[in-house]
Amino acid sequence: MKDNVQMKNDTCETFCFDEDKVNRIQPKINKVEGVEQIFKALSDATRLKIAYALTLEKELCVCDVANIIGSTKATASHHLRLLRNMGLAKYRKEGKLVFYSLEDEHIHQLVTIATVHAKEGVASEGK
């Protein structure tokens, strides 16, 4: 019952508390458009594992990614292609081999920060 009471009290009872802040931030809020695609791509556990693996090595061959995540080459290739199409990964071909890497340092940082944050969350739950 206590949780029910808290749920009812977690919203504001006024229309707008700080109109200056609202007026300053509201025109900038659309700058996040398109960012959701990054999180959408990384919200899939397999793609996140692949992106994480690519933070540990500069580049990986499709067949090695398949072995790392325990999938077929076709599945790994599908996920890598999706990461590439969403602008998170790039590839280069060397004969019959295809090597993937993260598109840039920003994606590397994003995955690394998310991983660190998740570990901190697990550590704090144990306290």
| CATH class for the region spanning 40-127 | mainly alpha
Q: CB-based contacts of 125: which residues, under 8 Å, 6+ apart?
A: none
- Residue 76, CA distances (Å) to 31, 38, 107, 122 in order: 32, 18, 19, 28
Beta pairing class for 97-102 and 60-61: antiparallel
Average confidence (pLDDT) over 61-85:
97
Which tops the pLDDT comparison, 17 or 126? 17
Report which of 85, 91, 90, 83 is spatially closest to residue 104, judged by C-alpha positions: 90
Name the helix (H) or strand (E) containing 36.
Answer: helix 35-42
Over the stretch 23-49, which tens digit does the pLDDT of each residue have? 999 999 999 998 999 999 999 999 999
Q: Which amino acid is at 23?
A: N
pLDDT band per the 50, 70, 90 thresholds, residue 1: very low
Predicted model pTM:
0.80
pLDDT of residue 30: 94
Report which of 45, 41, 44, 127 is spatially closest to residue 88, judged by C-alpha positions: 41
Name the DSSP class of 103: S
pLDDT of residue 8: 66
